[in-house]
Amino acid sequence: MNASILVDVLMDSGIDFFTGVPDSFLKGLCDELYGRFGTESVHHIVAHNEGGAVGLCAGHYLATGKPALCYMQNSGLGNAVNPLASLMDPRVYGLPCLLVVGWRGEPGTKDEPQHVMQGEITLGQLDLLGIPWKILDSDTTEKQFRNDFGELEKYLSAGKCAALVVKKGALVSSFRPDYSNHYAMRREKAAEILLASMGEQDVVVSTTGKLSREIFEIRERNGGLHDHDFLTVGSMGHASMIALGMAEALPGRRIWCLDGDGAVLMHMGALPVIGKRSPARFVHVVINNGAHETVGGMPVCSGGLNLRKEAEAAGYAGVLSADSEETLKAALKSITDIEANGPVLLEVCCACGARGDLGRPSTTPKENRDALMKFITKS
């Protein structure tokens, strides 16, 4: 079904505010919203995380008396449970919103390991929250959707939240937004340079998404092992805390956190925790392409945020930046002069996009875990 139908039906019903965190299964909806409204308007805001998006919906309803739409991947339900089970609940404030949830890991379908558990519990999770739901799949017609939404609208009118659970391929859009930026250096090239600069005892924690996939393939191309790398799957925004936990337990060993801008924005409270603990030889690299590129390319919510100043204010010992191969190599040479004094943040501005033939790790998460722990123990 074309996402324009969904948006038109909702707009006609009075739902004219949309917010959330992008998901690949919701790319059709995200492209439609970007094509119509952009990302920073009275009708559409990309949120930093799903719980924050629910808060935006609450504020919109309080101000207008109209429900809003909150979109997310089903993994984002975890971030949204607190406000859904308290703030929005009919026994508390009774603030309605319509959730549109991408169903990764749907039982009976093949998906990545981080989505299996969440896919199994998605419908049950909504049931536990008391949120009625309808499923939108590739066979859903406009008539069926209108009927399903009509049923959910009754719950919204009664001050309750409701959900549309979206299967893969259910929504398309006629819009083909240009999510590119003006940077030339590709993320994979930046990763190559970063990995080449590391020592034999260094440990890497990389964020979920295409960056970890690229790191795996770089090691494969170079004939290297994967035992230095923890390739985080799921748990978006938590790579830096995983890296900090390792740094606390392994003082003196250089720990690299290869992060993404969208992931950092999702849980920015990590920065002052890292700054407060101030681990030496902790290098926090943020690949900044201004987009949720792994799940479709929609811009992140950063606006005018200066990540380097945020890190300075949080107590990082040093802050560096790069936007080309030459400036990245120069920045990496400077790190050794700073890292003994505490954590270093290196912002690397990159182009959007990845190779069309980018693969996925051929090892399982548990094999990744075991290889890394063996390397740490023996070295």
| Mean pLDDT of the 268-290 span | 96
Q: 204 and 158, same structural domain?
A: no
Residue 34 maps to a domain: yes
Q: Is the pLDDT of residue 297 over 90?
A: no
What's the pLDDT score for residue 41? 86
Same domain, 217 and 356: yes
User: 123 and 72, same structural domain?
Assistant: yes
The pLDDT, as a whole number, for residue 370 is 97
In a domain? residue 180: no
Q: What pLDDT band is residue 332 in, cutting at 50, 70 and 90?
A: very high
The pLDDT tens digits for 156-198 are: 999 999 999 999 999 999 999 999 999 999 999 999 999 999 9
Containing 369, the helix (H) or strand (E) segment is: helix 365-378
Q: For residue 39, what pLDDT is reported? A: 80
Query: Is the domain of 148 the same as that of 35?
Result: yes
Q: Are residues 273 and 162 in the same domain?
A: no
Is 179 inside a domain boundary?
no
Q: Is the dihedral of CA 209, 349, 46, 50 positive or negative?
A: positive
65 and 161 fall within a common domain: yes
Structural domain count of the chain:
2
pLDDT at 296: 85
Per-residue pLDDT, averaged over 86-90, amounts to: 97
Residue 331 lies in a domain: yes
Q: What is the mean pLDDT of residues 16-38?
A: 96
Query: pLDDT over 90 for what percent of the chain?
Result: 90
Task: Quote the domain boundaries for residue 249.
Answer: 187-378
Residues 292, 347 share a domain: yes
308-322 tens-digit pLDDT: 999 999 999 999 999
* Model pTM score: 0.94
CATH of residue 11: 3.40.50.970
Cβ burial of 365 (10 Å; 0-12, 13-18, 19+) is middle
When the pLDDT of each residue in the chain is averaged and rounded to a whole number, the result is 95
